[in-house]
């Protein structure tokens, strides 16, 4: 009885911890972009470095074991990982928090489209129908967002496409190499950091970072962003391994709504009533999708029969600077 209560308490702790850290990382990054003007690629680079250091520490504490794999197998994954985090962060930088959160939900239909056209995977009509309220809700939010801008829309679109490709690629690699999320990330983080190190001087001259007024507050904000990103990854890894996909999905809805609310309250972002309708439609569509997936779809099998979004989240695992709803 005591073990059961202890297990319940630990699970609840991780769920609350993940919810808080996931909301904080989005709002914290938005604050760093908006009020500090910190360069996007440089912040992402620092996230990769801190995450790798954290993974080394976890490995030393026997949280996971490092599996030896050829680096050539990790390079495509590192490029996709790099693009996924950079574009989603650029979307956060150039959109309101609400629009940024809603746009990420389009990963669901995008992954399904990729699987249909490139992996010949078929989906029941009910699954396809759940994509209608998701897509309509996202469109309504963008259309009625008072701060709508073309550049933000482009970054959000690229973020969805690259994130979807990355998640499908990770699912495939995990199956081929028999590695879990943290084992994959152990290679992805340093390789992606190296990639960014080569392109940062081109897009973000060193003077951009140097000219920032480096106060103790700024250093604390950047450090907190990096550390929180790692904690998000760690808690996601534990939750996926110790709870059901339904639990993870429901917690995701809570994070989604609270993050949007946090953006409105913290950054005084205008919120049109039709955006609220769009968000309700989006949440309804995602909930219906999760329900259909759980009760109607048979388990996936075979090398190219990838599981759907909640399982892809588990293999993609760590969403460094961002967190999926």
**Domain assignment present for 310:** no
Residue 219 has pLDDT above 50, yes or no: yes
**Domain assignment present for 316:** no
| Total count of domains within the chain | 1
**Domain assignment present for 271:** yes
Chain centroid, CA 166 distance in Å: 11
pLDDT tens digits for range 266-310: 888 777 788 888 888 888 888 888 777 766 655 444 433 334 443
pLDDT tens digits for range 71-120: 888 999 999 999 999 999 999 999 989 889 888 888 888 888 888 888 88
**Domain assignment present for 48:** yes
What is the model's pLDDT at position 4?
Answer: 67
Helix and strand element counts for the chain (H, E): 13, 0
**Domain assignment present for 320:** no
**Domain assignment present for 211:** no
Residue 186 has pLDDT above 70, yes or no: yes
Q: At what angle do helices 40-60 and 216-242 cross, to 10 degrees?
A: 50
**Domain assignment present for 29:** yes
Question: Taking the CA atoms of the chain, what radius of gyration do you get in angstroms?
Answer: 19
What is the model's pLDDT at position 313?
Answer: 41
**Calpha distance 311→293 (Å, rounded):** 11
% of the chain surpassing 90 pLDDT: 33
Domain coverage including residue 225: 1-206+218-300
- For residue 177 the two structure tokens come to 């190499």
**More confident position, 83 or 260:** 83
**Domain assignment present for 312:** no
**More confident position, 54 or 181:** 54
Please give the model's pTM, rounded to 2 decimal places: 0.79
């Amino acid at each position: 009885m005591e073990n059961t209560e202890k297990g319940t308490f630990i699970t609840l702790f991780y769920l609350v911890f993940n919810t808080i850290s996931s909301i904080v990382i989005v709002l914290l990054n938005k604050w760093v972009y908006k009020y500090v003007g910190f360069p996007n690629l440089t912040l992402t680079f620092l996230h990769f470095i801190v995450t790798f250091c954290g993974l080394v520490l976890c490995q030393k504490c026997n949280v996971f074991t490092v599996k030896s794999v050829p680096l050539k197998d990790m390079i495509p994954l590192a490029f996709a990982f790099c693009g996924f985090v950079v574009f989603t962060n650029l979307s956060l930088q150039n959109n309101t928090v609400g629009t940024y959160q809603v746009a990420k939900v389009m990963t669901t239909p995008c992954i399904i489209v990729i699987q249909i056209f490139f992996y010949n995977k078929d989906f029941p009509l009910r699954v396809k129908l759940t994509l209608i309220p998701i897509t309509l809700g996202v469109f309504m939010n963008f259309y009625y967002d008072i701060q709508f801008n073309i550049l933000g829309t482009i970054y959000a679109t690229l973020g969805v496409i690259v994130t979807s490709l990355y998640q499908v690629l990770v699912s495939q690699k995990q199956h081929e190499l028999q590695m879990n999320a943290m084992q994959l990330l152990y290679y992805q983080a340093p390789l992606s950091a190296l990639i960014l190190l080569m392109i940062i001087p081109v897009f973000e001259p060193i003077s951009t970072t140097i000219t920032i007024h480096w106060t103790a507050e700024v250093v604390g904000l950047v450090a907190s962003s990096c550390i929180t990103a790692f904690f998000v990854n760690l808690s996601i890894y534990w939750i996926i391994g110790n709870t059901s996909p339904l639990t993870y999905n429901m917690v995701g809805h809570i994070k989604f709504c609270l993050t949007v609310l946090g953006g409105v309250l913290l950054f005084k972002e205008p919120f049109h009533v039709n955006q609220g309708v769009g968000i309700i439609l989006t949440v309804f569509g995602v909930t219906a999708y999760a329900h259909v997936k759980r009760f109607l779809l048979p388990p996936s099998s075979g090398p190219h029969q990838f599981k759907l979004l909640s399982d892809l989240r588990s293999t993609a695992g760590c969403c460094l600077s961002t967190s999926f709803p």
